[in-house]
Structure 1
C-alpha cells in the first residue's frame, strides 16, 4: 500500500509540479539559447553552438559532483528540505539567464543550478518512499508525464515567448520555481520517517561512492549501463532536433514550438496515462524491452525523414519508448531499502548527468561532421542513427541483466 502518513495524491501533485519545473527550465533553453548566446556573445551560430556545449558541460559536471551529495543529504535530513533548496537554486539560475549582461553570467547560473539540481533524484526518491508494488512503477510514470508537460511548456513557451522577448521565458521559469518552493514549504509533508534515516557518509556521498553503491547487485551494473546509454541516445532528440529541422527542412522558431507541443502531448498521454494500463498488463520486464525497441525504431525513422511532416509521425514510436523508463526505475528501486532510495536516485541522476556531459557533445559533433560544408557525406540524421545503435546495445544489456535477476539479492 502507499505510505500511510501521507496523502499520496497531494504529494504526487507537488512532485509532478516540481519535475515539471525542472524539465521546463531545461527545455526553455533548447529553442532560444542560440539567439541568446548570439546576442550576448556577439557571435555567429557556429560559435554559439560551441558555447552551448560548454554550458551544458558545466551544468552536467556540477550534477555529477553534487547529485550524490544531495541524494545522501536527503537520506539524512529528509526529502522535503532538499527539494525546496533545489527549487530555489533553479530560480536563481533562471534569473541569471534572464538578466545576464554577458555569457560569463550564464555559466554562473548553470553552475548554481547544477549544484542544487537534485530535484529529479530527490523527487523520485520521494515517489519510492510512498509507493509499493505495481503502484511504484505506475507512480514513476508521473515523472514521464511531468517531463512531457515540462517539455511542452518549455520548448513551445521558449519558442513563442522568446519570439516576443528572449528574456521572458527565463523570468517565467524563475517565478514558477519560487512559487513551487513556497507551496512546498507550506504544503508538502516529509516522506522519510526519522527512524528510516541514516547518517551522512562522505564515502558514499561522492561519484565514486555512488557507483560502488549501484554495483551492490551484480546484474544492476548492466541495467545501469543501459540506463546511461539510453539517456545519451535521447540527447539526439533533446539537443539536436532544432538544429536538425533548421538545417534539413528550414523550419522557423515557431515551427519548433508546435513540434514541442506535439511531443509533449504524446509524452503525457503515454507516460501519464497509457503506462498505468501497460505496467499491470505486460509487467516491468516486457515494458522495458518493448519500450527500448520502440526508442530505437523511432530514432532510426527520424534519421531518414524525407519531409518535415514525417518528423511528427516518427515521433510517435520514439515517444512510446518512454514506457521503458518508469518500468526500469520501478524495477531497480524495488531492490533497494527505504533508507537507500535517496542515494540510489542520486546515483541514477549521476548517470543521467554523465550522459548530459557526453551526449550533447557527441551528438553535436556527429551532426557537425555530416553537415559541414567540407563534409564528403551530407547526412543530418547521423545523430539519430548513432542514438539507435546505443539503444540497441542497451537492449542487449537489459536482456542479459534480467536473465540474472536472481543475483540481485545481496
Structure 2
C-alpha cells in the first residue's frame, strides 16, 4: 500500500476536489441572493447538479471503460474548475444554473477515481483502498466550509476563484502525475463500440448482487440526506444553538465518518465478509437515528449523530467494494457510475421527503431516516446470502 503512488495521487486529487466543493457550501446562498436566488430556487439549483450528474456519471464511467480513466478524469476536473469560474463571473441567475449543471455533467470524478482504485486492487485490499479514498473526500468536505467562510471575508467571489484554483491544481496533478490504470487498446475500441444505454440504469438493478448493493446504497444515501435536514432543523428550532456551534457539530459528524473509513482494514480482518460489515453498520445507524428522534437534549442528540456518522462512514467503502468484487473489469466505470447516479437521486429525494416529514414533527424526520435504513438493512441481509 505504501508503494501505491497512484492511490496517494488520487487521494490528493480527491481532497482538492472535495475541498473546492466544500468551500462554496456556506457562501452559495448568500452569493446567489445577489442574483435573485431564494430559499426555494436554492433547492432547485442544488437539485440541478444532482439531476445532471444522474444522467452524465454512468456515461462518463462507460467512456472510461472504453477510452481510459485518465482522460475522463481530466475532463471531469476541468469541468469542475470551469464551473467555479462561471460562478465567480456570474452576472445573473442563469449563469449560476449553467455553472451548477456543467459541474453535474462533468461530475464523473468520483466514480472514475473509484474505478481507478478498483483497477489495481485485489478483493483482499479493495475495501481498504475505497476506505482511504472515501476518507479523502470526507476530509475536504469537513474543512472546506470553514475555509469558504474565511475567504468570504475578502470578497464574495474569492471563495469561487480559490475553488477554481485548487481544482486546476487537481487537474494538472492528474495530467502530469497520475498513471493510467485502464489504457485503451485498439482492439477494445472495436470490440466495445456499443454506446452506453440509459436502460442500463434499470437492468443493473436486476442483477442479483450488484443491483441489491446499488439499491442499498441509494436507500442509505437517501437516509443520510434526510438526516441532514433533520440535523439542521433540530439544531436551530429545538436546540437553538449558534451557526458556529452547528458547524462544529457537523464537523464532528464528518470526522467520525473519516475515522471509521480509515479503520476499514481492521474491520475486514475481524469480519469474514464486507456484506456483514455493511449489515452491522446499518443496524447501528438505524438505532442511532431512531434514538435521535426520541431525544430533545443536546448531549443525547450529539451522541446519536456522532454514532450515526461513525458507522455511516462504512457505507461507501463496503458498497463500492462489493460492487467491484462482482463485476467485470471492462464495466467497472459504468457500474460504479450507475451507483453514483442513484446516490445523486438519493441526495434529491432525501431532503424532499424530509421536508414533508417535518410538517408532522422535526422528530419525524429522524424516524423517516431510520425507516430508510431499515429497508436497506433488510436488503443488506439478503446481500449476505448472495455475496
String of CA shifts for 1:71-119, please: whole Å, max 9, x gaps: 1110111111111111111111222223423322211101100110001
Q: How far off is 1:281 after superposition? A: 1.3
C-alpha separation in 1, matches of 2:193 and 2:201: 11
5 Å-filtered alignment, 1:11-410, equals 11-41=6-36, 48-162=38-152, 165-195=155-185, 197=188, 205-215=196-206, 217-238=207-228, 241-272=231-262, 274-282=263-271, 283-321=273-311, 322-367=313-358, 369-370=359-360, 379-405=361-387
Q: How far off is 1:160 after superposition? A: 4.2
Q: 1:364 to 1:17 in 2, by over 3 A?
A: farther
Q: With the length of structure 1 as denominator, give the TM-score of the two structures.
A: 0.85
Q: Judge conservation of contact 2:259–2:310 (CA < 8 Å) in 1.
A: no
Q: Judge conservation of contact 2:17–2:170 (CA < 8 Å) in 1.
A: no
Instruction: Report the RMSD for the aligned CA atoms in angstroms.
Output: 2.5
C-alpha separation in 2, matches of 1:248 and 1:11: 46
Q: Judge conservation of contact 1:31–1:253 (CA < 8 Å) in 2.
A: no
String of CA shifts for 1:334-381, please: whole Å, max 9, x gaps: 1111111111111111111221232232223433x24xxxxxxxx223
C-alpha separation in 1, matches of 2:18 and 2:230: 17
String of CA shifts for 1:316-341, please: whole Å, max 9, x gaps: 21122222331222112111111111
String of CA shifts for 1:274-297, please: whole Å, max 9, x gaps: 111111211312211111122222
Q: Secondary structure at the match of 1:336?
A: coil
Q: 1:148 to 1:37 in 2, by over 3 A?
A: same
String of CA shifts for 1:140-181, please: whole Å, max 9, x gaps: 102321122022122333344446644433322211111111
The count of aligned residue pairs is: 384
Q: 1:197 to 1:18 in 2, by over 3 A?
A: farther
Q: What residue is the counterpart of 1:373 in the other structure?
A: none
C-alpha separation in 2, matches of 1:297 and 1:336: 32
C-alpha separation in 2, matches of 1:364 and 1:143: 31
Q: Secondary structure at the match of 2:180?
A: coil
Q: 1:155 to 1:306 in 2, by over 3 A?
A: farther
Q: Judge conservation of contact 1:40–1:101 (CA < 8 Å) in 2.
A: yes
Q: 1:300 to 1:352 in 2, by over 3 A?
A: same
Q: Judge conservation of contact 1:53–1:360 (CA < 8 Å) in 2.
A: no
Gaps of 5+ in 1: 371-378, 406-410
Q: Secondary structure at the match of 1:251?
A: coil
